[in-house]
Amino acid sequence: MALYLGIDIGTSGSRALLIDERGAVKASAGGGHTCQAPKPLWSEQDPAEWWAAVRKAVPEALKKAGARPAEIKGIGLSGQMHGLTLLDAKDQVLRPAILWNDQRTAEECAEIVSRAGGLPELLRMVSNPALTGFTAPKILWVRRHEPQLYERARKALLPKDYIRLLLTGEYATEVSDASGTLLLDIRKRAWSNELLGKLELDAGLLPKVYESPEVSGKVTEAASQALGGAVLPGTPVVGGGGDQAAGGVGAGIVQSGIASVSLGTSGVVFLHADTLKTDPRGRLHAFCHAVPGKWHMMGVCLASGGSFQWFRNALGQPEVEAAKMSGADPYDLLVAQAAAEPAGSRGVCFLPYLTGERTPHADPYATGTFVGITPSTTKGALARAIVEGVCYSLRDSFEIFKALGLPVGEVRVTGGGAKNPFWRQTLADVFGQGTRGLAAAEGPAYGVALLAAVGAGAFKSVEEACRATVQTCDPLEPKPPHVKVYNAFHPLWQNLYRSLKGDYEKLSKAVHA
């Protein structure tokens, strides 16, 4: 039997997943990571934790599947995007990785726009605005604030590509993840020498760029030993994908008109594009897809599931304790309270900007905000307002798609939130459009396992692999009375951010002075 291994380096943990040549999942396993926030707006992680999690997960997945190492014919890598891992001349990690949700680089973003000659010029070069989460401003931050360390840096790698180095000994990335560095010419699918020159960055810091199904290296003897022999030396490792592009492949978003909504810690709206089309205002990400020669448009709410996690931790202790007694999930208990409230949450609105926001505001200073609380407001209304606020934020991206003339005929919902019918129904109601789930909702690890199968020759193309393996299920249609409520509330909700925008920055600077 031929098996294909997908490895996903997530924020809270890494996962290894095995599929067969028909796309059936044989087994999966994982290992956890911790995050650190040593200062306000910072988010960092020790790359050693990624490798430790991989070394745990891969042998465990093989054991669960009852598989032999020789059966693994290819490996695909996925990971959290934008994270900066700096290495010295001996490939030693110089500092903790700066993660995708780190917000320290507002000044560096302004510097990039200035050096590029303004936003239109930056969009011309790399098709995206300078956002605090991206990799390039992180590099400039290290250069400015840690100059001695920067002088020792010889390579800047994304999280999954650091694991690739440990597996293969190769400095390599692929187009979808490289798109999120702000240093890739998205049209040419190659590093932008023009922007690198303007930023005075050495192109030698960056790895070679591959297409996602291309073989980028082979497992070394040392890596095989580190994995306990679970993978044989010489096993090919394909380019893989950033977590969103990989998740797009895993959800079958590989043709025009199909979009996905991923409900994880962040919320992501993802749309396939046969030709590159950029938002002239830079509100959407325009990235290379993991499908060779194709692109995708993406909008991001930084704290979707993260908002509800905060709510559970801050105000959900009674539900946590009740769950311990009953064996229930505290999230389910809170969602049940939300579902008991009427659409519109009795006038309570929530702006889900706990860690700043990307789409459509690109505002690192924005914070989570409740508006409309009265003495009669219940915990259930607050919980429902969070769900609705996240869905409003994701609707913002869909409205930009429509304004750009990008059709959305089908919406597939993935991620942890997709498992909850109330979350999916609220999405359908806020969007005014039906949604579908996935028969095998396995996320980015599944997508890169499919890419590994393509790279190993099991399928002729990524599109063929998805047609053969990805199936949708559980269609949900919007409820017209709820659609009416949300169509009335959404513009009111949008105006709240406009009213508060200037105050967010003033508050942040006052707090962090």
- Give me the active site residues, please: 243
Counting Cα atoms < 13 Å in the Cβ hemisphere of 372 gives 19
Pair of tokens at residue 75: 């490996």
Pair of tokens at residue 474: 């559980």
Structural contact between residues 192 and 184, judged by C-beta atoms closer than 8 angstroms: yes
Structural contact between residues 260 and 438, judged by C-beta atoms closer than 8 angstroms: no
Give the C-alpha separation, 213 to 203, whole Å.
24
> Strand, helix or coil at 316?
coil
Structural contact between residues 468 and 445, judged by C-beta atoms closer than 8 angstroms: no
Give residue for tokens 């993935």.
Answer: 414
Cα torsion through 200, 201, 203, 206, rounded to 10: -170
Give the C-alpha separation, 293 to 287, whole Å.
11
Give the C-alpha separation, 346 to 179, whole Å.
42
Give residue for tokens 């297409």.
Answer: 211
Residue 115 phi/psi, 5-degree rounding, is -65, -30
> Strand, helix or coil at 315?
helix
Among positive and negative, which fits the CA dihedral 371, 372, 376, 379?
negative
Pairing assessment for the beta strands 72-79 and 3-9 based on DSSP bridges: parallel
CA angle, residues 269, 487, 303, in degrees to nearest 5: 35
Beta strand residue intervals within 405-468, DSSP E: 410-414, 435-438
Q: What is the 3-state secondary structure (H, E, C) of 72-135?
A: EEEEEEEECCCCEEEECCCCCECCCEECCCCCCCHHHHHHHHHHHCCHHHHHHHHCCCCCCCCH
